[in-house]
Amino acid sequence: MTSPDTSRSDRYPAGSAAFPHRDLTGLAGLAPWEILYLLDEAQQWVELNRQSHKRMDRLKGLTIINAFFENSTRTLLSFEIAGKRLGADVVNMHAAQSSVKKGETLIDTAMTLNAMHADAIVIRHQSSGAVRLIADKVDCPVLNAGDGQHEHPTQGLLDALTIRTEKGEIAGLKIVICGDILHSRVARSNIHCLTTLGADVRVCAPPALMPADIEALKVTPYHDFDAALAGTDVVMMLRLQQERMEGQFIPSPREYRHLYGLSLDRLAKAKPDAMVMHPGPMNRGIEIDSTVADLAGRSHITRQVEMGVAIRMACLDVLTRKARGLEGWA
Amino acid sequence: MTSPDTSRSDRYPAGSAAFPHRDLTGLAGLAPWEILYLLDEAQQWVELNRQSHKRMDRLKGLTIINAFFENSTRTLLSFEIAGKRLGADVVNMHAAQSSVKKGETLIDTAMTLNAMHADAIVIRHQSSGAVRLIADKVDCPVLNAGDGQHEHPTQGLLDALTIRTEKGEIAGLKIVICGDILHSRVARSNIHCLTTLGADVRVCAPPALMPADIEALKVTPYHDFDAALAGTDVVMMLRLQQERMEGQFIPSPREYRHLYGLSLDRLAKAKPDAMVMHPGPMNRGIEIDSTVADLAGRSHITRQVEMGVAIRMACLDVLTRKARGLEGWA
Amino acid sequence: MTSPDTSRSDRYPAGSAAFPHRDLTGLAGLAPWEILYLLDEAQQWVELNRQSHKRMDRLKGLTIINAFFENSTRTLLSFEIAGKRLGADVVNMHAAQSSVKKGETLIDTAMTLNAMHADAIVIRHQSSGAVRLIADKVDCPVLNAGDGQHEHPTQGLLDALTIRTEKGEIAGLKIVICGDILHSRVARSNIHCLTTLGADVRVCAPPALMPADIEALKVTPYHDFDAALAGTDVVMMLRLQQERMEGQFIPSPREYRHLYGLSLDRLAKAKPDAMVMHPGPMNRGIEIDSTVADLAGRSHITRQVEMGVAIRMACLDVLTRKARGLEGWA
């Protein structure tokens, strides 16, 4: 089960059976086959997680540190469960009690985690680029669990896996991502992932929440949600952060909902079998109506959570292979 | 060790070797044999916990999520130790960092935990009924670790086990529960448990802290603690919550202690071998005097804590049997 | 691997193969051989921790409770990793949510942890002596992870191990400890440890941060850091606590740095191969300059962190031997 099975081998370049990177700090720059490799690896964990006995000893003896400098519930839980199901010793470092508060530099914190001989460090941080900074200082694989407005690569991967599971292939799909594109690391990772895999990606946001350089990302920008929805296979809604709701970026939550909320009526503009996705936690009644969020057969929101654990298991497994004496990053 | 031994079988109806409920959200409505079944199961864990090596692989491969929306130390610790001693992967979700704070609905949180393929979810929540609400939405057993003023079933069970260990039988005992009956989920679970097992239960509280419909619970209400104590076998004191001490419900802690605190003098009105119990944490010098709390041979307060771990092990073991392919709830 | 190997046996008195104390509440009063015994034991864990697979089943079945009444990141993480690598079930009790906040006495909290059948309790507390108080009430080994201004014994041991690893022997070394000697439990544990092992220990602090009775500790006090540094083999800098920087004890951080900060120039007054140490987290630019903190071959600050995990593994292993039926404290 460790190496990709032969039926998948034609997706990867000759001689490249192993994932070639030590860290997963972002999806930008990954080759299509590298992303597919991680999705393929996750498949086995989707199946394991649906069984009663879902624990392997594969990472037994390894120490994984979840260093969360920014509060998180679901992502931390997902990584913790992923590490434990693979048999690793998982320890969580909570930001609120962190030495960082005592004036320690981020690099010193990183050096400390490194000196405890972690075999993988999972980091969430409020600053874009902080994860890369840490990765450059430590001796073990580093996984980005979300850094500022930069990337949230496992979210991008789990979304891609959710789509692939439903649609078979990602290439050629029309996918719209709607919400606060400007500040969203989820949007950024999804854009990199989905365009790399050949999807036709549209992004939709109010003018104040659209990046100025958006076209450089090879996506088509829209301000009119109805136009953006037309003929899409997948509708990904983003969470509207509380701090954007207070008049600085949008007039009011009510106005936002009117223009950019996903209602049943609006969803009808997408393809009849269009998937509805949301990274959670949802603001029901703001960016997404409850009738849509709960729409059987169309809403894949809880499926995304399920895929999240599998993707994180795949990433932890793949990136720690070298430490376990298996073929891994060079 | 999994199934009740034959010496216990005459307590259960013919053909009912397995506990018939998926969840443990409360003790109200449980049949006497169902409560006895859980107490009987706990016995083996009391013994295991007293040994040096106290870890089983029984729940290996299962994921237990402790979702505590309300802060707790001892109950969380007790459930976490219980799960780990049975070999499960235990993860804690802390309320303070919870997505709930980000405006997520409780049901969405529940759906998220469910999608991670938890095998049991232990929930503490400040709202009465929240645990039932979650249980109705998820696919795995749910254990109530205290919800609002509703129930705290494992506390009721551990108290019953503590009493049974000391007194042999619960039926026929005279038991007084004294304190803030109105707001206490501990009182409620104990009332259901002890009356179901045939005890003669008295409750004692100041008028403002006594539920209006208390007689419906088949207990005898008292406002005079001395009268309530007369001839009792067990004296259960409740914790006076800080927020009740500020004049709204009681005049002052000093006044409360005078009327409802358990002193040595007052304890003398109970039977000479009456057990003293308290769910903790204690306000020494308010609801209970230190001389009573520490009275050797009479105070069973630390014993209650010990029984707590065993009861939680029993509940986790019994409720996850079905997931493990054993006979369980239908 | 459990018992010290024969090559070490001549360091210990005849017939004293086992560490004779149940608790590790401080280093004051330990015999030299007892300290050496723990350092010797740690050596095997240094080596294990450098391997990929670093998990033993030695403490399997035991429950270790980390009861941290004072926030901590690195010490908690270090103890948690240590316990898990030895195979124990480790549970953390966080102060912020603690029942202590609900008015429970420290002793009641201790009794509660004890009743859950912990096999070792690791305690950090803001009050000097709190750990001893708890140790006197429980049935299992207690390890002090820092109590007020009293002791932080595992820090003293890990510092000694770091020095011994570099210098071979501690006896005869000239070691200066500089900083807030008055309030520092790290200084206190190091003074006990290093003087017991025969080092010539100097302490250096501004007058307001030097204990009045310092000479009783068999160290030489200095107020002039340049004089204190002259000819030393080891320079241990202490963290300047934020709360001392506000004019009560020192005029200003800038003034402090000028007089007591370790710069490259100042380090030149020590021996050319003098080791630089700091317990972390560092205030770079206050008590230590970045050029010194990062000085290759001279700064042993991350090495200290590494030794910390090994020392904690040694302490947990040694103190739980009796519970595991091996030779231990009498």
Query: Which residues of C fall within a CB distance of 8 Å from B52?
Result: 61-62, 119, 323-325
Question: B101 or B88, which is more confident?
Answer: B88
Q: Mark out the alpha helices in chain B (DSSP H runs).
A: 32-49, 74-85, 106-115, 130-135, 153-167, 185-196, 225-229, 253-260, 264-267, 290-293, 301-319
**Rounded alpha-carbon distances, angstroms, from residue A181 to A115, A185, A217, B85:** 38, 8, 12, 46
Q: What is the mean pLDDT of chain B?
A: 92
Q: Give B281's contacts in chain C (Cβ within 8 Å).
A: 99, 102-104, 108-109, 112
Q: How confident is the model at residue B100 (pLDDT cuts 50, 70, 90)?
A: low
Backbone angles phi, psi at A92, to 5 degrees: -105, 135
pLDDT of residue A103: 73
Are residues B162 and B133 part of one domain? Answer: no
Q: Same structural domain for residues B233 and B132? A: no
What are the pLDDT digits (tens) for A198-233? 999 999 999 999 999 999 999 999 999 999 999 999
pLDDT greater than 70 at residue C10: no
d(CA C143, CA C123): 6
CB–CB contact C71 A97 (8 Å): yes
pLDDT of residue B7: 54
The nearest CA of chain B is from the CA of A96 a distance in Å of 10
Contact list in C for residue A328 (CB cut-off 8 A) is: none
Q: What is the mean pLDDT of residues C107-128?
A: 96
Instruction: Tell me, yes or no, whether B327 lies in a domain.
Output: no
Same domain, yes or no, for C315 and C291?
Answer: no
What percent of chain C is predicted at pLDDT more than 70?
Answer: 92
Q: How far is B183 from B240, CA to CA, in rounded Å?
A: 10
For the cut 80, the answer to whether the pLDDT of residue C330 exceeds it is no
pLDDT(C165) > 60: yes
* Euclidean distance between CA atoms C15 and C35, whole angstroms: 17
- Report chain B residues whose CB lies below 8 A from the CB of A53: 60-62, 324
Of B62, B91, B324, the CB nearest to A77: B91
Query: Domain check: are A242 and A119 in the same one?
Result: no
* Residue C152 among known ligand-binding residues: yes
Residues whose CB falls within 8 Å of the CB of residue A214, separated by 6 or more in sequence, listed in order:
A181, A203, A221
Same domain for C182 and C274, yes or no, is yes
Nearest CA in chain B to C120: B52
Do A119 and A83 lie in one domain? The reply is yes
**Same-domain pairing of B39 and B128:** yes
d(CA A74, CA A81): 10
Question: What is the share, in percent, of chain C residues with pLDDT greater than 90?
Answer: 84
**Does residue C166 lie in a domain region?**
yes
Q: Are residues C61 and C74 in the same domain?
A: yes
Residue B87 touches chain A, beta carbons under 8 Å: no
Predicted local distance difference test score (pLDDT) of residue C5: 45
Beta-carbon contacts of B101 under 8 Å, excluding residues fewer than 6 positions away, are none
Tell whether B56 lies on the interface with C, counting CB pairs under 8 A. no
Domain membership of residue C133 (yes or no) is yes
> Does some domain include residue B328?
no
CB C91 to CB B81 under 8 A?
yes
Tens of pLDDT along A14-34?
Answer: 666 689 999 999 999 999 999
The pLDDT confidence band at residue C1, using thresholds 50, 70 and 90, is very low
Q: Is B281 annotated as a binding residue?
A: yes
Least confident of B170-179, B232-241, C91-100: C91-100
Residue C328 lies in a domain: no
**Rounded average pLDDT over A120-147:** 96
Contact C266, C229 (CB under 8 A): yes
Question: 3-state SS of chain C: helix, strand, coil percent to 5?
Answer: 40, 15, 45
Kind plus residue range of the DSSP H or E element containing C63: strand C63-68
Lowest pLDDT segment from A209-223, B36-50, B184-198, B238-252: B238-252
Would the annotation count B124 as a binding residue?
A: yes
Judge whether B329 lies within some domain.
Answer: no
Residue C97, annotated as binding a ligand:
no
Query: Which residues of chain B lie closer than 8 angstroms to C99, CB-CB?
Result: 73-74, 280-281
Q: Which of B58, B59, B63 would best serve as a mutation to test chain A binding (most A beta carbons within 10 A)?
A: B63
State yes or no: ipTM above 0.85: yes
Q: What is the mean pLDDT of residues C173-198?
A: 98
Question: Do C227 and C137 sit in the same domain of this protein?
Answer: no
Q: What is the bridge-based pairing of β-strands B200-204 and B63-68?
A: unpaired
Residue among A102, A106, A111 with most chain C CBs within 10 A, to mutate: A102
Query: Side chain identity at B12, as an amino acid letter?
Result: Y
Interface chains of chain A (3 or more CB pairs under 8 Å)? B, C
pLDDT at B101: 63
- Res B97 pLDDT > 80: no
Q: Residue C6 above 90 pLDDT?
A: no
Does C63 contact B85 at a Cβ distance shorter than 8 Å?
yes
State whether A161 and A295 are in the same domain: yes
**Residue-number span of the structural domain to which C206 is assigned:** 153-305
User: Cα separation of C324 and B266, whole Å?
Assistant: 45
A105 vs C contacts (CB less than 8 Å): 282, 284
The pLDDT score that the predictor gives to residue A138 is 97
In a domain, C325, yes or no: no
B71 touching A (Cβ < 8 Å): no
CA distance, residue A60 to nearest chain C CA (Å): 7
**Rounded mean pLDDT, C100-120:** 89
Q: Total structural domains in chain B? A: 2
CATH of residue B173: 3.40.50.1370
C118 in a domain, yes or no?
yes
- Average pLDDT value for residue range C281-289: 96
User: Binding residue per annotation — B280?
Assistant: yes
Predicted confidence (pLDDT) per residue in A268-324, tens digit: 999 999 999 999 999 999 999 999 999 999 999 999 999 999 999 999 999 999 999
Provide the CA C278 distance to its chain's centre, in angstroms: 11
List of chains touching C (3+ CB pairs within 8 A): A, B
Burial of C29 (0-12, 13-18, 19+ CB in 10 A): exposed
Angle subtended at Cα A20 by Cα A19 and Cα A21, rounded to the nearest 5 degrees? 105
Q: B29: left (phi > 0), else alpha (psi -120 to 50), else beta?
A: left
Q: Which string of b and e fits B179-194 if b means at least 16 CB within 10 Å? A: bbbbbbbbbbbbbbbb
pLDDT band at C16 (very low <50, low <70, confident <90, very high): low
Cβ of B116 under 8 Å from any chain A Cβ? Answer: yes
B157 and B296 housed in the same domain: yes
CA distances from B125 to B28, B40, B185, B230, B237 (A): 18, 28, 12, 36, 23
User: B54 in contact with C at a CB cutoff of 8 Å?
Assistant: yes
Q: C111 and C126, same structural domain?
A: yes
Mean pLDDT of all residues in B17-26: 92
**For residue B6, what pLDDT band results from cuts at 50, 70 and 90?**
very low
**A257 labelled binding-site residue:** no
